[in-house]
Structure 1
């Protein structure tokens, strides 16, 4: 997904991804876990969800996969710190998974297929279905930028969200993926009766949450692949990006600041 992912793997991006856990980003699949499961985590990034999943299946194992090994050091470090030894990391492409048919009890992907173009995203879901065992599960969660809501109405914040969506679509992705996810898995071959559809949220309101979330976006705007994509694609100037970074700082320092986004979630059973 490296060529499909506009953010790259700058430290600011990994810092944002490293906050994610099963509890705050994959709670919808907790009821489906068994202690002996073999799980594939597609687009695992720095592996915080991957390692968390491994801790929840102590008699099983979890494989984290991404298109580059750049973020794996973070995942290996986290696993060592937590004493989790049933996890490994491999390089691979979601559109052509490097695993045999019917290998995994569960295939999980968080914020992955929204960055792929239409044909690629359907192919990736089909690949996840292919490597899942009969009776196994494909579990996907995708954000939906059209559901973002925030307070107070800081000048520039909605402009940034609009810019983010413009860049994502120019790159072939779909930032309003959450509301479409249940239709994508049907396009990939799952029957409606085998799909459980839910929604989850992220919400940032406490001083710690505001400081962290705003700093993540300030750093991405100023340092990550998102900056380069915005500039080289002609979507924004450096002056625009500096102004939008300041909007995030303003929101993050407001004691009444509140930000939320809805995510679409699906659990698909493989027949």
Structure 2
């Protein structure tokens, strides 16, 4: 196990507007490409689990197995545990930890995955190397990434995932892409309201001000633009998410 801690700062933080958006994510709408590879008795690690909605969903696919959700921001795990309890899911646990130095022995898990994490870390190759270390031979390591955010992370992560995986020592790397699309009146309103608040109240806002990237007035204009977008009857947005499925040889 390496001795290393995360150097990047998570741009969005865990303001209610951010967690509300993350809680929309499910196994089906976020990691559907992985689901056909799951078996009922697998032991799985979900890195960067946040409020745990994906983790809880995956637990249903491994009824004789177990899934662990790992999250660096330990405070959000209270909500993750509450989500599991509310759904009566018991083959699950949530732990605080840093994926740059996982506290697990080599070859521990059948599947290790992370969703929308690698673009936010300082050393994605190192994290993938750790994921490879703790997954069993023949097991799956999966990652997804988009872009846009820079705070010690990589804004073009989606197009680099496969290259990072090969640098981490994976030879068998399969690539795919999923699109989120918000087009209905209800979905547009939901996404708009999320960013109306996030633009002013989340770590996205405080970091922008602290680093001199925007003034309060700039953020207010951004927030208002999102509000106006959400009221436009022709508004829609699509968000691509690049995916890799890596097999440990």
Please, what TM-score do these two structures have when normalized by structure 2? 0.95
* 1:52, distance to aligned residue in structure 2 (A): 0.6
Cα 1:19–1:27 change in 2 (3 A) is same
Task: Please state if 1:186 is matched with 2:163.
Answer: no
Q: What residue ranges of structure 2 are gaps of 5+ in the alignment?
A: 1-5
Counterpart for residue 160 of structure 1: none
Cα separation, 1, equivalents of 2:7 and 2:17:
16
Cα 1:2–1:174 change in 2 (3 A) is closer
Q: Is the 8 A contact 1:2 1:68 kept in 2?
A: no
Counterpart for residue 136 of structure 2: 133
Q: What residue ranges of structure 1 are gaps of 5+ in the alignment?
A: 145-164
Q: Which runs of 4+ in 1 moved over 6 A?
A: none
| Greater per-residue helix proportion | 1
* 1:4, distance to aligned residue in structure 2 (A): 2.3
Q: Is the 8 A contact 2:118 2:144 kept in 1?
A: no
> Counterparts of 1:139-178 in structure 2 under 5 Å?
139-144=142-147, 165=148, 168-169=149-150, 171-178=151-158
Counterpart for residue 3 of structure 2: none
- CA displacement, residues 57-115 of structure 1 (integer Å, 9 cap, x when unaligned): 11111000011221112111111121111110011111111111111000010011101
Counterpart for residue 198 of structure 1: 176
Aligned length: 244
Counterpart for residue 207 of structure 2: 229
Match of 2:46 among 41, 64, 73: 41
Counterpart for residue 246 of structure 1: 224
Please, what TM-score do these two structures have when normalized by structure 1? 0.87
